[in-house]
Structure 1
Amino acid sequence: MAKRKTKFVCQDCGYESAKWMGKCPGCQSWNSMVEEFSEVPKSGTRSYVTSAADTSKPQPITKVVGEQEARIDTTLIELNRVLGGGIVPGSLVLVGGDPGIGKSTLLLQLSAKLAETNHKVLYISGEESVKQTKLRADRLGVISPELYVLAETDLMKIEKAIEEVAPTLVIIDSIQTVYHDDISSAPGSVAQVRECTAAFMRVAKTTGIAIFIVGHVTKQGSIAGPKLLEHMVDSVLYFEGERHHTYRILRAVKNRFGSTNEMGIFEMKELGLEEVLNPSEIFLEERSNGAAGSTVVASMEGTRPVLVELQALISPTSFGNPRRMATGIDHNRVSLLMAVLEKRVGLLLQNQDAYLNVAGGVRLDEPAIDLAIAISIASSFRNQTTNPFDVVIGEIGLTGEVRRVSRIEQRVHEAAKLGFKRVIIPQKNIGGWTFPTEVEVIGVSTVEEALEVTLGG
């Protein structure tokens, strides 16, 4: 008879304790310790299924046959870009996002696309019945005999179904509903999520079947469960956006088979998600001309240049300490650039409130947006309008110099494609490449030069 033990496990980080504590010592979160029961088996009683790969012998890497497996084309251009060119056979992909954001819709549409190209897909739902999944599929127009549906939460039965169907792709919606009989804790607990994910990882690596698992998120926006979950999988995708807006952004925060800077954009419509192939037009379509504090910047999202609007509002403060608020960009970077403008250009900003925003809900992290931020701040402070046909690119140093940025040619061509007339770039980026004939490229070396060009001094 196995001995039954009681322990308290943090549901955020997996920290274990013999007694309950209000604050987790591991992640410092409050009221996250939950009582769990575990049975300690006798020595030698627990066993694991051993695959053929486990019996192989170590061999020199020079003798390993390195044949590259062909990726599975999803026929969704945006999803292919985020995954690095398609689905890698035998990969384990974790998809997270807020409730109601469209995770299940995206994966059901992915299932339909693969089923239409004669790939067997097994969609396992732990949150809906088969009839409910069919209703959602009918609404999205998903009809294919190659798409198999199963409503199950028992890990052993799921593994048996995968063996019987032998699909190309398996979708688990969601990992928090799946449970293992050998673990006494409730579904969704740290132990259950960890063990079930490990089981799916073994299935994916030994059979070559690609598996997508849906993970719930906490109120802080991170994947629920232990951080180990994100380390185990091959790729982690976050589906972001506001439920009251139609645009959704799919980001890869981890990808063993591609870039982690890629971004895919979708629009939620009545019949499901539709790809947005030219996001620059979307982010600039509501831009107002002739407004002070508005600047367009060409930012790189992975291999894709995206033009977005930066907005700044500078107003006199009524407090002892002026406010600095930023949405979509780093707050500390804004404070640094305001200090450069005050020291090197002579703008008196120490008694001004500053509010900055990236239109469209995109987050920009690269330093190439520095010059656009500085020009937006100066434009709003002086109440001078910027040229609506200008695009500004450049990094700013602490001495006020404008530094070189990468992939300048792609950024300038994107601006020319959307009808902009001038592009202000670092002087160091001039030369070595061909300018588009329909756009004027101006090189600047300092912030003062950039303000002279864009605002007339």
Structure 2
Amino acid sequence: MAKEKSIYVCGECGASSPKWLGKCPGCGAWNTLVEAVAEAAPGKNRFQALARSQPVATLSEIEASEIAHQGTGIAELDRALGGGIVEGGVVLIGGDPGIGKSTLLLQALDALSRTVKTLYVTGEESGAQVALRSRRLGLEGSQVRVLAEIQLERILAALEAEAPAVCVIDSIQTLYSEQLASAPGSVAQVRECAAQLTRTAKASGTTVILVGHVTKEGALAGPRVLEHIVDTVLYFEGDTHSSFRLVRAVKNRFGAVNEIGVFAMTERGLKGVANPSAIFLSTHGEPVPGACVLVTLEGTRPMLVEIQALVDSGGPSPRRLSVGLDRDRLAMLLAVLHRHAGVAAFDQDVFVNAVGGVRISEPAADLAVLLAIQGSLRARALPRGFFAFGEIGLAGEVRPAPRGQERLREAAKLGFSVAVVPSANVPKKPIEGLTIHAVERVEQAIAVVREL
């Protein structure tokens, strides 16, 4: 028997090489090439039936219609999806093992099964295990159809026979196609199975939701081309030791990106949190030094998050550690604080944390971080009902944050009364119950806080 030819495929981009290399020739990533069996060249007619020719049309003559979204019955999931699922759309959802992906999708399918036909394809569990989980979640009398299968061709045949409106594949890494000789979970299998399911979804109008494994770095396992194939990419975030979970959209062809849905894990599954600001704010009896409330923007939703800072003597090698915030940006802010406000922390350990496990990436958090650090260093607490937001530049200026008035209204609605914000974010009409201090530079913000 002839020996099978091996190639080396990159797990990040899918590029192949005839020999092992430390650095991928396609994307430049290190140590990502893994051995795989070289596939035979596809026949001429293999994809011919799948390719449908479309006539060339002028853009202005193409009829533009709004995409219809169908609700899943779970409001927070609909928010992350941009309003709900779309006919023929393909959604990829990833997250750490045990974080609740299968639980959430089973709850969504049960709600959808009351109005449309649904199918749950499980490659990691048996039908009895899925039924046992549904009983634990209290989904009695569920009409969700279940198929325990990992062979792609059989799944496609079941999709054609059942013709469901929504299908969940749990998970894409367990599937394999008979057309390829490589094992399930390999780069070639993941890419081929995702492409075939996507083509089926577009042709039949079935909404397909793919569950993806994640690597230890938190990225979706398999080639990055998987994220380019699908229409929507959702990430399940949160600590498995905490009862709160976040579903974040990082790509959405049918809605806004960076939308998040907030859930609480209960004995009966995941429940949506209507007021997420409540879980991201610590409850102090009295104001404490080193805490400052920030109004951050996640997609279209303004949320209040408490930023906590601890400054302590660090000796000859002080540490800079941040949880939920960019560590490099923290070092930059400390340099700006020293140069332009005269507050030195070069010999101090500085620890910064965003309460509730939320990750904040927008620069509008800069001002709240600086005020929290200054409060911890001076051992002075900010007044009750205080919040701040604004981007800090290297020249010491405080730049405006997008949609500032929405942030101010959200804070006022939750009972906050004192704000330090960039001058450009001050509303033309005063907001009832809210005292706003406008600042243009870092030293002005520090001076305002010292007078409060």
Q: TM-score range by the shorter chain?
A: over 0.9
Deviation at 1:387, TM superposition (A): 1.1
Deviation at 1:3, TM superposition (A): 9.9
> Pick from 88, 93, 108: which aligns with 2:86?
88
What residue in structure 2 maps to residue 17 of structure 1? 17
Deviation at 1:6, TM superposition (A): 2.6
Mapping 1:276-355, distance limit 5 Å:
276-287=273-284, 289-319=286-316, 321-355=317-351
Mapping 1:41-52, distance limit 5 Å:
44=44, 47-48=46-47, 50=49
SS at match of 1:38: coil
Q: TM-score, normalised by structure 2?
A: 0.94
Could you tell me how far apart the structure 1 residues matched to 2:381 and 2:121 are?
55
Contact 2:6/2:35 (<8 A) preserved:
no
What residue in structure 1 maps to residue 430 of structure 2? 435
Are residues 1:390 and 2:386 paired? Answer: yes
Could you tell me how far apart the structure 2 residues matched to 1:247 and 1:322 are?
33
Q: Give the fraction of aligned pairs with identical amino acids, expressed as a percent.
A: 45
Aligned CA distance change for structure 1 residues 31 and 426 (closer, same or farther; 3 Å): closer
Contact 2:234/2:249 (<8 A) preserved:
yes
Aligned CA distance change for structure 1 residues 287 and 364 (closer, same or farther; 3 Å): farther
Q: TM-score, normalised by structure 1?
A: 0.93
Contact 2:282/2:355 (<8 A) preserved:
no
Mapping 1:6-405, distance limit 5 Å:
6-21=6-21, 27-30=28-31, 32-40=33-41, 44=44, 47-48=46-47, 50=49, 54-116=52-114, 118-144=115-141, 146-287=143-284, 289-319=286-316, 321-405=317-401
Contact 2:12/2:29 (<8 A) preserved:
no
Could you tell me how far apart the structure 1 residues matched to 2:170 and 2:16 are?
27
Between 145-154 and 91-100, report the one with greater CA deviation.
145-154
What residue in structure 1 maps to residue 439 of structure 2? 444
Contact 1:11/1:34 (<8 A) preserved:
no
Aligned residues: 451
Superposition CA RMSD, Å: 2.2
Q: Which amino acid letter does the alignment assign opposite residue 262 of structure 2?
A: I
Aligned CA distance change for structure 1 residues 128 and 65 (closer, same or farther; 3 Å): same
Between 226-235 and 70-79, report the one with greater CA deviation.
70-79
Between 349-358 and 303-312, report the one with greater CA deviation.
349-358
Structure 1 residue runs of 5 or longer lacking an equivalent are none
Could you tell me how far apart the structure 1 residues matched to 2:284 and 2:49 are?
60
Between 419-428 and 79-88, report the one with greater CA deviation.
419-428
Contact 1:91/1:210 (<8 A) preserved:
yes
Aligned CA distance change for structure 1 residues 435 and 85 (closer, same or farther; 3 Å): farther
Contact 1:259/1:302 (<8 A) preserved:
yes
SS at match of 2:86: coil
Deviation at 1:437, TM superposition (A): 1.2
What's the CA shift string for 1:106-141, capped at 9, x where partnerless?
A: 11011011112x111111001111111111111112
Could you tell me how far apart the structure 1 residues matched to 2:423 and 2:63 are?
48
